[in-house]
């Protein structure tokens, strides 16, 4: 009853990405399936893992195949339908009420937010990636002393069309950012270093500028804070480029303490396997929101377990849904479906234990599915 | 059968605090409910979290309300009964066999150990907070060179009336304390720094002295060790003042290795979300005892999960009960009730799996409920 | 059905040790039962813990006693049968298909791999402990400048008879090893320091040489890599000698990133309580394999819980079985039995949830029980 209701709840996906436009063979599909650098590997490869089995179980029927279809059959049917149709089916199947799309990572052409929204039948908002914006400023040419003002100006110009911003400090300098707002002089010096590194072409190869300076990450966060924009932080689980130890959200404690004095929502993304730490931060800091995106679809039917752990300390008004889907449209569907199943299980177990009433559980489910995100991002006020 | 037996087991609460004497409105109640700085927050606030639902489920009936009463009804009934009656009911409902009360944190007048014991119908012992004792020595006036002797003298004078001591190094310098006993010279130097900081009024405001020096924390621990007093350490989960990363009990490894050579019990309090680390320490060090207090009432019906994780490596003779109740008398009741339910579930599942017999399970339940604490604190030898 | 099938699956134990030849009284038995320095302790001691109850439940019947026999009855029966018969019974009961025996830690005479294999009725391969080999080179006499070549020569000579090597960097310098291959000069300098420390007899006592230098640990790993040998790393849970914080497998990230470019399998052993971190590494690095050995028998009927957590991100083709049995033959039996039960539960729950088919579950079970290890260690190619 409760679980059925939850299985049809529209979700606000507060952190997701574009999907690819091209068709995919098995190697290319597996390469996008998880955070591994390469797909495949020994034996059944990534299909012999929770996410692989989840694709066979839950995605195959969306492509008119029986549940548990064999991987090669799945990929053949996928090729037969073509990328456009596959994208259409999975975005629609996800049952989304709104999307907040991080547009800052596009190593290849991906569907734009408007296209995603169109397929999903729901409004799509943009999340600006702070480091990408700063790198564009450098790429377009700027002096060290003018860097800060130019970044502020561009962010301000783009802010009205953005639902929030995202910091990928975790992937670069790590999350151990101090709580202090850097001085203008510090920012100019750091910008100077970035400009010199960029000129040098980063050791000869034609690499684009990359923000990886603790001072600049902090500066960008404070710029967003000054504009009142919700701030997303990558935390925890991601690909092998990051050093996972430097992605523990507890490393942000000092900065979160300062941001709590402003009235700016902070969203800690992913968090696995530090999701209990994230739940603690959501309890003690009034402006911190948390999710277990990315982990949800990677964990398949274990999603309930990490959701239950997140919801140990995190107040239910601070828990969000996100798919963190990237590349494969399947991840929109899996993220949404497995989240609903996991949340349904956690809340239904509470009803069975007598921890809360079914009425309260249904109310909490709606908060987590969409209400919390609407409130935190003020989606109701947006066009 | 087993679970029913456990539901009526008297508990030794080896770490708790006083409760407030005043009536509480909703904001004041929520502010004391969790470790958040401020109560409330968005929507249902802290009532929409595991601990909030636990209050409605388990505390409402003690105040003659139906289970799952609405928060405002609960607070209205609470006000109607008055603080004294509310305190009386919850302390009695907790079913305690003895209390060990930490008296070192009193930002407002709280019930004294004797009053708590009277309400609970059980003997109440005192736990001395080491840093508070040292700060009193400074406040009363002492020279840097006389500091160590004066601390030792006071501790010795108060020791006969105390069941043990507590260190809050986790909140100040962090738990990364070396295993070495500091020299007299090191202590005198550190005391000198503390005296100077105190004189300077800590940057003008009239702040009382605060021990936050790694040397002094260690010195205090060794003073207690020399007197053979059981030593409690705050570890893991606490309020936003602490940096949770510095509260991992594994940081104490070096000091625990040294203290294991003495015959002094060490109690690692709370530990969440590092409770598996604590269980490991309880297995490898013969003098280390552990609990998951504070987490138990915050987690509601998930308490069994962390208890099960603690009891993976921790020998059952090293597991203790504590409520860590502070401020709200509800926390005495919730801590005790949820602990009994969680322990009952863990032990009953073992019986169902065939892991142990019901007889052994009942014996283990008694050890954990009271036997281990009686032995570790020698409560039988105390007046 | 599935669980019954798994209960009789032959296992490749890819990391284990010798067992003692002598009879054991209760204190000696408890001292070998867990990672505690001393056995016993208060009350029921280590028998009142998950592993103790598992011995009574699962080992007693192998010695013709009823399940749940009392500890003293168990030890009396054990003495009656004698060490040789007890070893024979438990090694046989384990149902092993092959053993990979770490021969690098022998504080007392233990059964040799060939003897273990004979009792188990399965081929036994040797795992060379890298640090032990280096220490033998020093003990036998070598100059600092000849150290590297001599280590390489010995490793090369012994490699054909070894299934792989093991690094115990976790116990010495900790796992924070950089990814760089040390230069010949760095190795010679580090060897010089080791030689001087050894000459000095490590502060007077007659201690044997001990490799504990980050440079030497790395050097040894690269030597093994150059020979294409699978490399085991102790990670996570072990005895109180190690500082568990320095055993988090995430500390190896930099080195793993480099080793991933070679085609050398890396096995992360034990990992508890960092097993989710290990699962992540197994997903993102194609050459990383993981287990939860040691934890499995210590956790008794909770083994399924850590196995489930390991198998959240770890692809099922990267999960291995090991007992890490040492000293007591009971640990071979318990490790194998509890692993099969845990794996059976995890896979059967997936079938019940509809996450995968029973056919797929059976296939995965075989991979994890033996197929993955056979492939990673190329056991089929070995004599």
Q: Inspect the interface and report whether the beta carbons of C53 and B356 lie closer than 8 Å.
A: yes
Nearest C-alpha neighbor of A88 from the set A115, A67, A107, A53: A115
Q: Inspect the interface and report whether the beta carbons of C357 and A50 lie closer than 8 Å.
A: no
* Closest residue on chain C to A245 (Cα): C250
Residues of B in contact with C50 (CB under 8 A): 311-313, 355
- The contacts of residue B369 (CB under 8 Å, 6+ apart) are B6, B9, B10, B11, B12, B97, B321, B340, B343
Question: Does one domain contain both A145 and A71?
Answer: no
- CA atoms of B322 and B270, how far apart (whole Å): 9
- The contacts of residue B78 (CB under 8 Å, 6+ apart) are B23, B24, B29, B63, B86
Task: Say if B53 falls within a structural domain.
Answer: yes
Q: Inspect the interface and report whether the beta carbons of A356 and B57 lie closer than 8 Å.
A: yes
For residue A217, what are the CA distances in angstroms to A133, A210, A222, C308?
12, 11, 9, 37
Split into its structural domains, chain B has a count of: 2
- The contacts of residue B374 (CB under 8 Å, 6+ apart) are B12, B98, B380
Q: What is the pLDDT of residues B254-305, one digit of tens each?
A: 999 999 999 899 999 999 999 999 999 999 999 999 999 999 999 999 999 9
Range of the domain at B261: 2-21+93-381
Strand A231-235's sheet: what is its strand order? A11-16, A96-102, A124-129, A162-167, A231-235, A266-270, A288-290
How far does the CA of residue C96 sit from the closest CA of chain A (Å)?
22
Measure the CA dihedral A46/A49/A55/A58, to 10°. 170
Strand B231-235 to C96-102 pairing: unpaired
- The contacts of residue C16 (CB under 8 Å, 6+ apart) are C99, C100, C101, C102, C116, C322, C323, C324, C325, C326, C332, C335
Strand B162-167's sheet: what is its strand order? B11-16, B96-102, B124-129, B162-167, B231-235, B266-270, B288-290
- The contacts of residue C22 (CB under 8 Å, 6+ apart) are C83, C108
Question: Does one domain contain both B72 and B209?
Answer: no
- Measure CA B61 to chain center: 26
* Closest residue on chain A to B302 (Cα): A312
Q: Inspect the interface and report whether the beta carbons of B244 and A311 lie closer than 8 Å.
A: no
Is the CB of C193 inside 8 Å of chain B's CB atoms?
no
State the alpha helices, DSSP H only, in chain A. Answer: 2-7, 26-33, 50-54, 71-81, 83-93, 113-120, 130-140, 144-158, 184-199, 214-226, 253-259, 275-284, 295-299, 303-313, 330-353, 358-366, 372-377
- CA atoms of B264 and B231, how far apart (whole Å): 8
Residues of C in contact with B353 (CB under 8 A): 301
Residues of C in contact with B360 (CB under 8 A): 53, 68
Q: Which of A30, A35, A38, A42 to mutate to test the interface with C (most CBs of C within 10 A)?
A: A42
Query: Global pTM?
Result: 0.97
Task: Say if B326 falls within a structural domain.
Answer: yes
Is the CB of C121 inside 8 Å of chain B's CB atoms?
no
- CA atoms of C311 and C367, how far apart (whole Å): 13
Class of residue A263 by CB neighbours under 10 A (exposed 0-12, middle 13-18, buried 19+):
exposed
A&B contacts, CB < 8 Å: 98
Q: Inspect the interface and report whether the beta carbons of C244 and B354 lie closer than 8 Å.
A: no
Confirm if A247 and A174 have CB atoms less than 8 A apart: yes
Strand C96-102 to B124-129 pairing: unpaired
Q: Inspect the interface and report whether the beta carbons of B251 and C245 lie closer than 8 Å.
A: yes
Question: Does one domain contain both B260 and B273?
Answer: yes
A53-57, C125-129, C261-265, C273-277, range with the lowest pLDDT: C261-265
Question: Does one domain contain both A179 and A258?
Answer: yes
Of A253, A286, A308, the CB nearest to B38: A286
Q: Which of A43, A277, A307 to mutate to test the interface with C (most CBs of C within 10 A)?
A: A43
Give pLDDT, residue C239: 86
Is the CB of A227 inside 8 Å of chain B's CB atoms?
no
How far does the CA of residue A309 sit from the closest CA of chain B (Å)?
9
Task: Say if B86 falls within a structural domain.
Answer: no
Q: Which of A356, A358, A369 to mutate to test the interface with B (most CBs of B within 10 A)?
A: A356
Question: Does one domain contain both C54 and C129?
Answer: no
Q: What is the pLDDT of residues B112-156, one digit of tens each?
A: 999 999 999 999 999 999 999 999 999 999 999 999 999 999 999
Confirm if B346 and B319 have CB atoms less than 8 A apart: no
* Closest residue on chain B to C44 (Cα): B317
Give pLDDT, residue C38: 62
Nearest C-alpha neighbor of A313 from the set B25, C275, B54: B54
Of C284, C312, C317, the CB nearest to A43: C317
Q: Inspect the interface and report whether the beta carbons of C36 and B284 lie closer than 8 Å.
A: yes
In the predicted model, what is the mean pLDDT of residues C91-101?
A: 98
Is the CB of B375 inside 8 Å of chain C's CB atoms?
yes
Question: Does one domain contain both A64 and A98?
Answer: no
To the nearest whole number, what is the mean pLDDT of chain B? Answer: 94
Is the CB of A67 inside 8 Å of chain C's CB atoms?
yes
Residue B202 has pLDDT above 70, yes or no: no
Is the CB of C312 inside 8 Å of chain A's CB atoms?
yes
CATH of the domain at C162: 3.20.20.140
Measure the CA dihedral A171/A175/A181/A182, to 10°. -50
Task: Say if B87 falls within a structural domain.
Answer: no
If DSSP codes are grouped into helix, strand and coil, which group holds residue B178? coil
- CA atoms of C345 and C2, how far apart (whole Å): 9
* Closest residue on chain B to A257 (Cα): B240
Neighbours of B24 (CB within 10 A): 19
Q: What is the pLDDT of residues A289-309, one digit of tens each?
A: 999 999 999 999 999 999 999
How far does the CA of residue C223 sit from the closest CA of chain B (Å)?
33
Residues of C in contact with A272 (CB under 8 A): 276
How far does the CA of residue B3 sit from the closest CA of chain A (Å)?
14
Q: Which residue has better confidence, A319 or C108? A: A319
* Closest residue on chain A to B237 (Cα): A280
Of A37, A43, A302, the CB nearest to C367: A43
In the predicted model, what is the mean pLDDT of residues A79-85?
A: 98
In the predicted model, what is the mean pLDDT of residues B37-56?
A: 80
How far does the CA of residue B303 sit from the closest CA of chain A (Å)?
9
Question: Does one domain contain both B60 and B98?
Answer: no
Q: Inspect the interface and report whether the beta carbons of B283 and C38 lie closer than 8 Å.
A: no
Element (H, E) at B96: strand B96-102
How far does the CA of residue A157 sit from the closest CA of chain C (Å)?
38
In the predicted model, what is the mean pLDDT of residues C365-378?
A: 97
Question: Does one domain contain both B219 and B307?
Answer: yes
Residues of C in contact with A245 (CB under 8 A): 248, 250-251, 253
Q: Inspect the interface and report whether the beta carbons of B49 and A316 lie closer than 8 Å.
A: yes
Of A254, A357, A367, the CB nearest to B43: A367
Chain C (314-353) residues lying within 8 Å, Cβ to Cβ, of chain A: 314-318, 350, 353
Is the CB of C272 inside 8 Å of chain A's CB atoms?
no
In the predicted model, what is the mean pLDDT of residues C350-379?
A: 97
* Closest residue on chain A to C273 (Cα): A273
In chain C, what percentage of residues exceed pLDDT 70? 96
* Closest residue on chain B to A365 (Cα): B48
Of C251, C277, C367, the CB nearest to A273: C277
Residues of B in contact with C244 (CB under 8 A): 250, 253, 277, 280
Is the CB of B253 inside 8 Å of chain C's CB atoms?
yes
Is the CB of A45 inside 8 Å of chain C's CB atoms?
yes
Q: What is the pLDDT of residues B168-199, one digit of tens each?
A: 999 999 999 999 999 999 999 999 999 998 88
Question: Does one domain contain both B45 and B101?
Answer: no
Confirm if C21 and C110 have CB atoms less than 8 A apart: yes
Band of residue B35 on the pLDDT scale cut at 50, 70, 90: confident
Give pLDDT, residue B205: 56
In chain B, what percentage of residues exceed pLDDT 90? 89
* Closest residue on chain B to A308 (Cα): B302
Q: Inspect the interface and report whether the beta carbons of B371 and C43 lie closer than 8 Å.
A: yes
Residues of B in contact with A248 (CB under 8 A): 245
Q: Inspect the interface and report whether the beta carbons of B68 and A367 lie closer than 8 Å.
A: no
Give pLDDT, residue C205: 56
Band of residue A383 on the pLDDT scale cut at 50, 70, 90: low
Task: Say if B313 falls within a structural domain.
Answer: yes
Question: Does one domain contain both B46 and B164?
Answer: no
Question: Does one domain contain both C262 and C292?
Answer: yes
Task: Say if A88 falls within a structural domain.
Answer: no
Domain closes at, from C41, C58, C81: C81
**B111 dihedral zone (left: phi>0; alpha: psi -120 to 50; beta):** beta
Is the CB of A276 inside 8 Å of chain C's CB atoms?
no
Question: Does one domain contain both B261 and B337?
Answer: yes
Task: Say if C87 falls within a structural domain.
Answer: no
* Closest residue on chain B to C298 (Cα): B313
Q: What is the pLDDT of residues B209-257, one digit of tens each?
A: 899 999 999 999 999 999 999 999 999 999 888 899 999 999 999 999 9
Give pLDDT, residue A205: 56
Q: List, as own/partner pairs, every contact residues C39-42 make where C-beta atoms lie below 8 angstroms and the sequence separation is at least 24, other chains included.
A: C41/B286, C41/B315, C41/B317, C41/B318, C42/B317, C42/B318, C42/B372, C42/B375, C42/B376
Task: Say if C162 falls within a structural domain.
Answer: yes
How far does the CA of residue C152 sit from the closest CA of chain B (Å)?
35
Strand A124-129 to A96-102 pairing: parallel
- CA atoms of A343 and B63, how far apart (whole Å): 32
Residues of B in contact with A254 (CB under 8 A): 243
């Amino acid at each position: 009853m409760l679980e059925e209701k939850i299985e049809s709840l529209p979700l606000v996906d507060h952190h997701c990405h574009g999907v690819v436009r091209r068709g995919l063979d098995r190697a290319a599909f597996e390469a996008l399936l998880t955070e591994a650098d390469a797909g495949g590997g020994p034996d059944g490869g990534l299909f012999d893992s929770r996410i692989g089995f989840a694709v066979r179980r839950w995605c195959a029927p969306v492509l008119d195949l029986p549940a548990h279809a064999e991987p090669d059959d799945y990929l053949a049917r996928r090729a037969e339908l073509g990328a456009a149709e596959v994208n259409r089916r999975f975005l629609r199947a996800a049952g989304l009420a709104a999307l907040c799309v991080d547009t800052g990572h596009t190593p290849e052409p991906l569907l734009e937010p408007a296209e995603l929204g169109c397929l999903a039948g729901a409004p799509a908002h943009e999340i600006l990636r702070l480091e990408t914006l700063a790198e564009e400023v450098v790429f377009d040419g700027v002096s060290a002393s003018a860097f800060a003002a130019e970044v502020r100006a561009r962010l301000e110009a783009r802010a009205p069309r953005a639902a929030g911003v995202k910091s990928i400090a975790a992937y670069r300098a790590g999350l151990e950012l101090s709580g202090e707002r850097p001085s203008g002089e510090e920012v100019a010096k750091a910008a100077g270093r970035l400009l010199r590194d960029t000129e040098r072409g980063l050791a000869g190869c034609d690499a684009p500028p990359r923000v990886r300076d603790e001072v600049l990450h902090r500066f960008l966060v404070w710029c967003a804070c000054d504009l009142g924009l919700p701030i997303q932080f990558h935390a925890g689980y991601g690909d092998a480029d990051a050093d996972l130890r430097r992605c523990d959200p507890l490393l942000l404690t000092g900065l979160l303490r300062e941001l709590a004095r402003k009235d700016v929502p902070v969203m800690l993304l992913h968090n696995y396997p530090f999701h209990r730490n994230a739940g603690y931060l959501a309890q003690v800091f009034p402006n911190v929101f948390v999710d277990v995106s990315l982990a949800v679809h990677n964990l398949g039917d274990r999603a309930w377990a990490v959701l239950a752990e997140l919801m140990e300390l995190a107040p239910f008004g601070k828990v969000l849904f996100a798919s963190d889907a990237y590349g494969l449209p399947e991840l929109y569907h899996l993220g949404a479906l497995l989240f609903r199943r996991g949340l349904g299980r956690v809340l239904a177990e509470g009803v069975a234990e007598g921890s809360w009433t079914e009425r309260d559980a249904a109310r909490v489910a709606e908060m987590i599915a969409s209400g919390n995100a609407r409130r935190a991002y003020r989606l109701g006020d947006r066009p």
